[in-house]
Structure 1
């Protein structure tokens, strides 16, 4: 399979593709930023599982973390970076190319 610029699968991103990371990117794409606890509850993940996936996305440059004190507790806010948003949208385009724009018909 060619990965040249004309290849519709060129945007397939193995970092984003893992199911929980894809869900994290989808949630963060819909919001400017989200508090770690909210993401954890929305995706029904343990704090350690979410932290592990966020670390992978952060190391790839796809997610940024901002720490702030709120209600005397330190909170962590997550947001997609410009690169993360581009990777997520590129990955969605590659998935659409795999299944076709309309998706499978039953």
Structure 2
């Protein structure tokens, strides 16, 4: 079981949603899929991905596909651990053991 650990980086609502989406897939997610799922502008997703990448919670790579530049995002091991610990901390808040 993951030790609960509240994480200010993860806690921001859009970053929490990004990490939840990435945690749910075994590989990478395209930037546009994240943007569409969040329902926000490219700049909002970019800002949050920058924070997550600087914390080494996600890795980002760009590749040209059919002449179009695409950005792919993957959850890192560190990011997966931080996300799991944060979710455990949230669960402890809403369902404290007696």
Normalized against structure 2, the TM-score is what? 0.91
Note if 1:91 corresponds to 2:73: no
Which of structures 1 and 2 has the larger relative contact order (alpha carbons within 8 angstroms, sep 6+)? 2
Match of 2:21 among 11, 27, 30: 27
Gaps of 5+ in 2: none
Deviations 1:38-63 (A, max 9, x none): 11001111000000000000001101
Gaps of 5+ in 1: 1-7, 102-106
8 A contact 2:4–2:87 mirrored in 1: no
**Shift in Å, 1:10:** 4.9
8 A contact 1:15–1:21 mirrored in 2: yes
- Kindly tell me the number of residue pairs found equivalent between the two proteins: 94
The equivalent residue for 1:3 is none
- Runs of 4+ aligned structure 1 residues displaced above 6 Å come to none
Distance 2:63 2:92 in 1: 40
